[in-house]
Structure 1
Amino acid sequence: MNLARALTADRIPILRPASYSVGEPASLDAVFKDGIAYLADYPPARFHFVRLPDETIVIQTPRGEARCFGKYGYGGSYFVVAADDAVWLYSPRAENAWEQEWVLANSSLAVFVQTYCRLMSAVFLLKADFAQGYNFNQGAVLAAQLQSWLAQADPDAAIVHAFWSHPLYEIEDGFFHLANNPVSRQIGMPEHRYQELPEKHMEPVSAPPKPIIPSINMQHHRKEPS
């Protein structure tokens, strides 16, 4: 995934590009600290992440600056660390199952990484039994286990309107994608929205400049006493 191109295609203002792209890679001491290096894409369910923390991009949102590190779905929805240090799914046009601009994922990036890795653990246990078809009983058990853990680790992230409720529902009811889908290849559907647009036609969206407020010389505007 090219995160910069994805953000540009969705007209999301970029404040600062990835530090790696401008020749400022993270040190080996820092690269593993925040957990981003442990995230891995899962294309069947359209989870996509940068590989290392120095590939994150700072964007402008209605809530201020946010650090974008991943993408969910075909286009328009991004995982960001906001000013409150929580991880949110940010969708400027509410292009998600919740039809909301902001959907809470976790209270911190560290807990997000833990939750995603536990989700993938459940997914790969289900994939391991592919020859027998989808095991609904196992799916229900795995979803309940993850929900129980999440309620203890991050209570706000366990509520029904938070992000993880949707993939857990899909796992429980057998709707979570376990295999690659050949239909997209057959009809020529791109994996990301930005792949529909020629790269030369995509210009990065910059945040609007802060307004310049002229200073007022009060000496010239003060009413002289009569």
Structure 2
Amino acid sequence: MPTASDANATTAGLPGDIRRRGLMLVLSSPSGAGKTTISRRMLESDGNLSMSVSVTTRAKRPGEVHGKDYFFIDPTEFNLMVNRRELLEHAKVFGNYYGTPKGAVEEALRAGKDVLFDIDWQGTQQLAESARDDLVSIFILPPGARELERRLTTRAQDSAAEIAKRMAKANDEMSHWSEYDYVIVNRDLDESVTAVRSILQAERLKRRRQVGLSDFVRGLQAGL
């Protein structure tokens, strides 16, 4: 993965001719805590943010579109992508494999575009190992266990057995909250979305990501 000093990064919401390298914004949470809804709201309101489309070996759910929600592939092709090192991260979740294709993400970051990831703690750990300078990680917590179970039940996507399995898995997932840069308790959706937007804006302005800042300041000093 190129570093934050990549000279090909371009301007993205910064003054003058300052170039910026894009960042990887990770949202993780137990199933039902709200990360998918928050992700959708972020994508709708921010034109410089795009969703990383993962590959997965699980079956399509009703309404999902290949190439938009996921790239649905078989286990053999997934293993080939792992062996060819074409994935930034990959993990097994609830018996299925998920992974992030490398090429599209690296191209976006070089162009100063930000990429949103909806991945679990395993994938986040792998990204932190390979691309820590590009990574901004947020863990979304539910306001309570009963509310989490209610959300899983009312979305009517899973069977009772699957909901029980996800609730059992939630404790393990939540134990990794301290590995993240930021933690948000999703009591109110609008407030949570505002918090994520604030984090993203602050991270975009970090000095190390503004790779054209030195030239910009020298221009100011020279009276340009």
Common fold by TM > 0.5: no
Q: TM-score, with normalisation over the residues of structure 2?
A: 0.24
Larger Rg: 1
In the superposition, the TM-score normalised over structure 1's length comes to 0.24
